[in-house]
Amino acid sequence: MYKHDAVVRPRYSETDQMGVIYHGNYYMWFEVGRSDYFRSLGYAYKRLEQEGIILPVVESSCRYIKPAMYDEEVLIRTQVELQKGIRIGFKYEVLRKEDEELLAEGRTLHAFVGRDLKPIRFKALSEEFRAVIERVKPD
């Protein structure tokens, strides 16, 4: 299973008054992981958007295990967990970079849609993009 690690350094603006990273910000990190994941496959999400395809999130979830802290780098380990029709699902592990301790794990489920937010059939995507997805999706 192809996985890709994005490195994120938690920002001061992402902390809250508990002294840890605010839980909602993990979703922004998942998006960083996803964006980096596509780039690592040679097909930046930006390019997909330029081709008129967007990938809105249909479901998202996160389980928090240990808090992430300001300035302590984390890895966002991203993989495609499912792809079926116009649905594509990602899984993310947030690991403390120093020792790869698991801090959180999450998921996002997306639909391929056009700029009008209407569904697009998977076959309508470019051949090159479909080949990328075929390569990484689980059996």
Chain contacts with a second copy (rule: CB under 8 A): 9, 11-13, 15-20, 22-25, 27-28, 31-32, 35, 44-46, 54, 56-64, 67, 70-71, 117
Q: How far is the CB of 46 from a second copy (least distance, A)?
A: 5
Ramachandran region, residue 85 (left: φ > 0; alpha: ψ -120 to 50; beta: rest):
left
Whichever of 54 and 133 has its CB closer to a second copy, that residue is: 54
End-to-end CA distance of the chain, in Å? 9
The H or E element containing residue 48 is helix 45-50
Q: How far is the CB of 37 from a second copy (least distance, A)?
A: 13
Whichever of 56 and 134 has its CB closer to a second copy, that residue is: 56
> Tokens for 17?
């008054």
Whichever of 57 and 133 has its CB closer to a second copy, that residue is: 57
Give the C-alpha distances (Å, rounded to integers) separating 81 from 85, 98, 102. Answer: 14, 26, 18
